[in-house]
Structure 1
Amino acid sequence: MHQHLRLLLFLASLGVSLHAAGQSGFRPGYVVPVAGDTLRGEVELRGAQQVARLCRFRTNSASAVTEYQPAQLRGYGATAGPRFETVPAKPGLPVFMEVLVSGKASLYTMYNDDDEQQFFMRSPQGAVLALQQRDTVKTAEPGARSAQVKERNYLFRPVLKQALADCLPAVITIPKVELKESQLRKLFVAYNNCGREAPAADVAPAASKAALGLLAGVYRATLPFGNNPRTTLKTGWNPTAGLALSFRPGRFGEKLMLRLEALYTQDTFEEEVTVPGSGINLLGTAQRRTDVKLNALQVPALIRYSLPGRRLRAFLQAGPQASIGFGGSAQQRRTEQMNGSAPSTTTTSYDVRTFRLGGAVGAGLTLKAGTGAVQVEVRRSFTDTPVEQKVAGGVQATHLLLGYQFR
């Protein structure tokens, strides 16, 4: 019991320490004041909304942090990473926007308060234009039945056609362009290369994002065990807790994410049943008691797909799962009484495996909360047999999980 408590305390302290480390997101970089020379040092890149409103800069790890508003800088950036320019999102409202493509026509992006990615451009004439689309739901009535139809208005396409009109190869591709970062990047690079021998630079690859999360909840498990007959052992609802690391490669976009989790589980399976007798007691019965204890760290590697949404988003995820065991036991005791003699008890112990493989699949919701997101999830997991001998099936479990993901 004490070793399990120590493990849970270790996981909690590790989560706190990792989160604290994540709060210091300073990287080598620079700031460009409105007046004066470029200053080099370290800039903080943390939070999609924060980087648009505020630049935090220090000359080195031991110096004080200076905070800059968009009106105070022409831009800032990481030495090896994204860079930001001060751009008016609306008249009189300058913000820091990430530069995706720079050239005769430049492409920018930022995230609003609902965590939605927005795109802007600076035209060859210097005007800053928002690239937008609008979805509307209409009710159509074919005959006596009604149906809801979603219509998408590509407002950004006429804006692009007018702004990029002097490059026909780029203009003819606009009717097929979606409001997605990868497709807009390709269009702007093509425009900036139009009629030029030297290609324009696609200044920043799509940024990858990583975030730490905490998970807690309850689960219950089943385990087929025994021969002649094989019965299904069940646990009650047990607590579980652990950590999650989410990673979204830049090429994935906003709908896909990779997650690596570590959840501590402690299973106790107990059962006592009446089974057919054996030997000279063949026509009689015997009592069989099964005790299985499994302590493990469940490590699923999941691919998550999130449906579009503002603050509330539904998700599905699935992937392989490893179970790393430490400690544990499995045994059966069989008690028979033959021909009025004293009861005879036979105990059989089984070797518990320390490593098992399986998988997990889950569905849930995430809700933006503060600087992070709360999630609820229902999950099913399975791993192969926990004992070396051919006496048990795989462990299956149902999980009800609550989590928080930091940004």
Structure 2
Amino acid sequence: MRTFICLLSALCLTAPAALAQSNFKPGYILPPTGDTLRGEVDYRSEQRNRKLCRFRPASSGTVTEYQPNQLQGFGYSGGTSYQSRELPGAPAEKVFLQVLALGNASLYRTVQADDREVYYAGRETTGPLQLLVQRDTTMMVYSKAVGREINTLERSYPFRSKLAMLMADCPKVQASIVNMELKEQRLLKLFSEYNACAGGSAPQYVVAERRTKINFLVLGGIYQSKLTMRYDFSDTELKAARSSIFGGGLIVHPSFFHHKLSAALEALYVKQTYEKTYQGLVTSGLLTGQMVPRYAVVNLTSIRLPLLMRYTILQGGVRPYIQAGAVVSFQTQGDARLETEIPRFGTDRREFSVRTTFFGGLLGAGISIPTGSVGSMQLEARAELYDGTSESVETLSGVRGISLLAGYTFGK
């Protein structure tokens, strides 16, 4: 675990330097007056984009920074676009909001400093904005089933009444608002239906609906682990030397997931040999109470199948992430033995059977760096813990391992 913390610390030190780097992509800015200016816009996290736009007319041009009160908006060619809008409340604040839908009613999104997503809606593209709020409140209520008060989650929907008033001229969508949840895909569908119903002179636009994406992943790195052998009522820790670990997998971005969540299924090959020579205490027989030389060795060759959920903390040029999940390990080869040197009698050799399948959990943290439309590189530190390795759980305990992996994901 100490090594895992060191690896994780190294990633944390690497991430800020990577985040500071520029990541310009083809895009445009909309000055307060005049035509659209095309060039390159720095592709950064949502939190940074809401406060500042960095633009250059060409790859060799000078970078100019624009605040929300200096532009109508900006965007990336064929991608996300932003408008400069004044937020409701006092004091007045102007920020760049991501455009989700435009029309008789418009929808915007932003990500605040605490990584919380916030949605705003307003009339056309110039009307005052309203914050869309959905609240969860913990309340004490009496439960007849358990005969006492219990904590329960109470959800309120203030945003529904705001949307109902905003879209009052289209009765067709009112029924949808009654059961609406503050979820992006449902909001997009509602605004698209309303703008088609209401018409008007405002240009109609809705951001493309997210579709399920599947990307292929290759991984490789170093792995080290340890386990515990119990014999004669004493525990001995066996440590394996560093070895290679490699494999591949699939990363799935379901359309119904939050856009920062994804799932991964991997297949990894690893071979470990645990061995140790030590002095062991004899607890039975003629040599009871004596210390004798012992040699323990365990060989494990396995195919491991992690099923993981990943949360990407930031979006932009560098994307830190954390992930966790379950692992099934299939042993393609496994054996364990303990040799004890008994004075005047030679060597006593004991063999232990190794389970062909065992289960565990995994926790990882890393950074992903996009490399354009081709894919993205990643660097990750992982910690793993497995259940009993031998048929008799009292003989061999679970494996505890750490790894440092580099990988590449193909596709955007």
Answer whether contact 2:275 2:295 (CA < 8 A) is retained: no
Q: 2 CA distance for matches of 1:382 and 1:142?
A: 39
Distance 1:347 1:22, change over 3 A: farther
Answer whether contact 1:259 1:301 (CA < 8 A) is retained: yes
Structure 1 residue runs without a partner (length 5+): 210-218, 278-285, 307-314, 324-328, 350-355, 366-375, 386-392, 402-407
Answer whether contact 1:99 1:204 (CA < 8 A) is retained: no
Aligned counterpart, 2:361: 361
Aligned counterpart, 1:182: 185
Q: CA deviation at 1:301?
A: 5.4
Q: 1 CA distance for matches of 2:211 and 2:29?
A: 19
Distance 1:95 1:195, change over 3 A: closer
Distance 1:203 1:145, change over 3 A: closer
User: What RMSD in Å do the two structures reach over aligned CA positions?
Assistant: 5.7
Answer whether contact 2:326 2:362 (CA < 8 A) is retained: no
Q: 1 CA distance for matches of 2:109 and 2:98?
A: 5
Distance 1:360 1:181, change over 3 A: farther
Structure 2 residue runs without a partner (length 5+): 214-223, 246-250, 286-291, 313-321, 366-380, 404-412
Aligned counterpart, 1:303: 309
Q: 2 CA distance for matches of 1:250 and 1:81?
A: 17
Q: How does 1:340-379 map to 2 (within 5 A)?
A: 344=346, 360-361=360-361
Q: 1 CA distance for matches of 2:194 and 2:284?
A: 81
Describe the superposition over 1:155-200 as per-residue Cα deviations: whole angstroms up to 9, x where unpaired: 110111111112222111101110111111111111122277xx95
Answer whether contact 1:234 1:269 (CA < 8 A) is retained: no
Q: CA deviation at 1:55?
A: 0.8
Structure 1 position 318 matched with structure 2 position 308? no
Aligned counterpart, 1:111: 111
Answer whether contact 1:221 1:395 (CA < 8 A) is retained: no
Q: How does 1:60-139 map to 2 (within 5 A)?
A: 60-90=58-88, 92-124=92-124, 126-139=127-140
Q: How does 1:2-401 map to 2 (within 5 A)?
A: 16=14, 20=18, 23-90=21-88, 92-124=92-124, 126-140=127-141, 145-194=148-197, 201-205=205-209, 221-222=226-227, 234-235=237-238, 251-253=256-258, 256-258=261-263, 268-270=274-276, 288-292=294-298, 300=306, 302-304=308-310, 317-320=324-327, 333=339, 335=341, 344=346, 360-361=360-361, 380-381=385-386, 396-398=398-400
SS of the residue 1:23 aligns to: coil
Q: 2 CA distance for matches of 1:142 and 1:336?
A: 67
Describe the superposition over 1:22-62 as per-residue Cα deviations: whole angstroms up to 9, x where unpaired: 83332221111112221212212222211111111122333
Answer whether contact 1:111 1:117 (CA < 8 A) is retained: yes
TM-score (norm 2): 0.60
Which one scores higher on RCO, CA 8 angstroms, separation ≥ 6? 2
SS of the residue 2:309 aligns to: strand
2:95 maps to a residue whose letter is V
Q: 2 CA distance for matches of 1:67 and 1:156?
A: 35
Describe the superposition over 1:310-367 as per-residue Cα deviations: whole angstroms up to 9, x where unpaired: xxxxx983144789xxxxx988655456xxxx76569999xxxxxx9976425799xx
Q: 1 CA distance for matches of 2:210 and 2:71?
A: 23
Most deviating of 56-65 and 15-24:
15-24
Equivalent residues, number? 333
